[in-house]
Amino acid sequence: MLARSVTEEERVTALRTWLWGVETNRLALVLDFARPGASPAWELWPGNVVEAVVARFPGTAQLRVIVAERSGEAEVGDAPPAWADLGQVARARGEALARDPWTDRWPVAVASVVPEVHGGNWVVTDRDGRQMALAGDDVALWRLLASSGGRPVVLLAEWAGDSLVPLGAWTDSGMVVL
């Protein structure tokens, strides 16, 4: 379980849970909808590992799944799998867009990045100096900055438009859900 996000769509609230298949080495998305304002009932918690069989929805992207069968309890996992830099993230997103141009949000799990704020502009820099803007609400951004303290973290985010919306971070003290 990598991260989760909530966005208010036109008439519903979309709840996205991003999963990484430890055995399949593939991304998966559990997409749920709720009435606006309803508090989401998350079954899967970021950073946890659970043994499950998922069923993929048809379509070219093959990203969306439902959890068909779960066995055993969720356990707290180690550092989440992550791309090594933002260039790899962009390539993976590019491949997904090439398969399905309707891919609007793309999960980002990227290692060794440092969040920073310069005069109100939020950015994240990877190991080689690639930089992307961060977007999101102030509380999440400051929490992310404080969880890092200027040291590299594994950033979990969604690529939306031109920026990354942070959802979590893996730090020295474990998973931080933003």
Q: Which residues bind another protein (CB under 8 A)?
A: 86-87, 89-90, 93-95, 97-98, 101, 114, 116-117, 123, 125-126, 128-132, 139, 142-151, 169, 171, 173, 176, 178
What SS3 class is residue 88?
helix
Burial class for 76, CB neighbours closer than 10 Å (0-12, 13-18, 19+): exposed
Asked if 168 contacts 175 with a C-beta cutoff of 8 angstroms, the reply is yes
Dihedral pair phi/psi, residue 117, rounded to 5°: -125, 130
For residues 52 and 156, which CB has a smaller minimum distance to another protein in the complex? 156
Q: How far is the CB of 52 from another protein (least distance, A)?
A: 26
For residues 30 and 168, which CB has a smaller minimum distance to another protein in the complex? 168
Q: How far is the CB of 131 from another protein (least distance, A)?
A: 5
For residues 51 and 75, which CB has a smaller minimum distance to another protein in the complex? 75
Q: How far is the CB of 146 from another protein (least distance, A)?
A: 4
Tell me how far apart the alpha carbons of residues 163 and 132 are, in angstroms, rounded to a whole number. 6
